[in-house]
Structure 1
Amino acid sequence: MSKKRPHDLSSLSGRIRTWLHFYLKDHHLLRMAWWNLAEISPGVWRSNQPSPWRLRRMRARGVTTVVSLRGGVPQSYNVLEEKACADLGLGFERLTGVMARELVPAANMLAIVDGLAAIEGAKLFHCKSGADRTGLIATLYLILVDGVDVAEAACTQLRPGWVHLPRTRAGVLDHIFRVYLRDAAPAGQGFRDWLETVYDPAEVQADFDDWRAGAGRWAV
């Protein structure tokens, strides 16, 4: 006999396991009242993991496509979100390749932002908490698509108000922009060009470690 998938919605027991996992293991109980939601640009929304009920609310606000940054594993959040989008007539895409506490190659980030920009109509993108991965993509979107100033975009989209904490390991995401503003912006190099030709994840990580320790180029 084949083993049943833990998040199979075709049976009552599977639906119960899926919803229990979503509310308890994936911490949706915390997200019931805390949405971490904002429209960062006309028709472009950032959020934490939405429930099917909230997706219905977002459709009423004009959203036509939902983008998850959480990967494609068959966990409760993906199973429920994919079904809810299908039921509501919403597009559902996964543009993955960024991490909350680790830097990735520029190509990963650019592919997500370019993919997001190519989606027609109003869209909602999210990770689990809407703090780190979502904050990074929101910042990049404003800079690369809307032409917002780098410092302004990073300051508004990667901040404690989104539950993004700059001095934790996730703060390395902020440091991408900090290093650019220190090393490349004064010389007039554009952000995308710097990201494609200069940015090095290992170097930025090492510089971030120095920044947190007040060492290296950040020594007082």
Structure 2
Amino acid sequence: MVKITPKSMRKPHIAPDLATREGRARAGRELYLGDHGFLRVWFSNLHQISPEMWRANQPSPKQVIAHAQERGIKTILNLRGPTTKGFYLLEKEACEQAGIDLIDFQMFSREPPTVEKVFAARDLFERIRYPALMHCKSGADRAGIMAVLYKLLREKVPYEEAMEQLSGRYLHIRHGKTGVLDAFFEAYAAFNAGRPREDWKPFLDWVAEDYDRAAVKAEFLQKLGKGPKLDEILHRE
């Protein structure tokens, strides 16, 4: 029987020291083995979603350099948030070497966003240097919701066009806990149901005045049914 230690009881992770041979080797193991980076060596889930924005999964140091040299990337948005793990430290180092601004903007794949996070995303899109690339681990869910927000808030495209960023094309699965991201945007569409498109309430006005985060999540969980088992089978982050 395998004994699983609760996260609250686990020892804090000690960051590998990239200045030492041993530390750099451990960082590499944390990237390619611990974070499944070996699966991303030949598959980066890389897509250009506008002339100035790309989306992808977690890049390796070599891929970071390639983004700078081949695509002129000036900013990388890390949607996973900062960590002491090797995959993050190596990405940060590569960004510094390539002259890329690394911005940590943590998103969540199984929670609807807060009002504050939506407005912070709007402000972020207005201040970063472009061309830019956003990534999470797989490039499917957190990159998906952020890409929809980018399309709505920066490009101001129609709702249906923006929602294409949350689809199987990018490996997003809505029939599980990550479907709460779809539920968030669908609540906005439901609020405007029956109105001509030109009379839809502006998205940010709805977020500020009408969006009920707790209600969106509760309704989604009620409809989810057997969704959690799918997430367990796929071992999704």
Q: TM-score, normalised by structure 1?
A: 0.89
Q: Distance in 2 between matches of 1:152 and 1:210?
A: 28
Q: Distance in 2 between matches of 1:80 and 1:200?
A: 39
Gaps of at least 5 residues in structure 1 are 214-220
The structural deviation recorded for 1:12 is 0.7
Partner of 1:63: 73
Pairing of 1:23-42 with structure 2 (within 5 A): 23-42=32-51
Partner of 1:218: none
The residue type paired with residue 99 of structure 1 is: F
Gaps of at least 5 residues in structure 2 are 1-12, 226-237
The answer to whether 1:170 aligns with 2:178 is yes
CA contact (8 A) 1:69 1:125 kept: yes
Q: Choose from 80, 103, 118 the match for 1:109.
A: 118
The residue type paired with residue 79 of structure 2 is: L
SS at match of 2:82: coil
Aligned residues: 209
The structural deviation recorded for 1:72 is 1.5
SS at match of 1:45: strand
Q: Distance in 1 between matches of 2:194 and 2:155?
A: 21
| Alpha carbons of structure 1 residues 71 and 51: separation in structure 2 relative to 1, 3 Å | same
Q: Distance in 1 between matches of 2:104 and 2:61?
A: 17
Partner of 1:216: none
Q: How well do the aligned residues superpose, as a CA RMSD in angstroms? A: 1.8
Q: Choose from 77, 82, 86 the match for 1:72.
A: 82
The structural deviation recorded for 1:192 is 1.2
Partner of 1:217: none
Q: Distance in 1 between matches of 2:165 and 2:188?
A: 16
SS at match of 1:40: strand
The residue type paired with residue 75 of structure 2 is: T
Moved more, 160-169 or 105-114: 105-114
The answer to whether 1:196 aligns with 2:200 is no
The structural deviation recorded for 1:185 is 5.3
CA contact (8 A) 2:31 2:37 kept: yes
Q: Distance in 1 between matches of 2:223 and 2:201?
A: 23
The answer to whether 1:18 aligns with 2:18 is no
The residue type paired with residue 209 of structure 2 is: T
Q: TM-score, normalised by structure 2?
A: 0.83
Query: Kindly, what percent of the aligned residue pairs are identical?
Result: 36
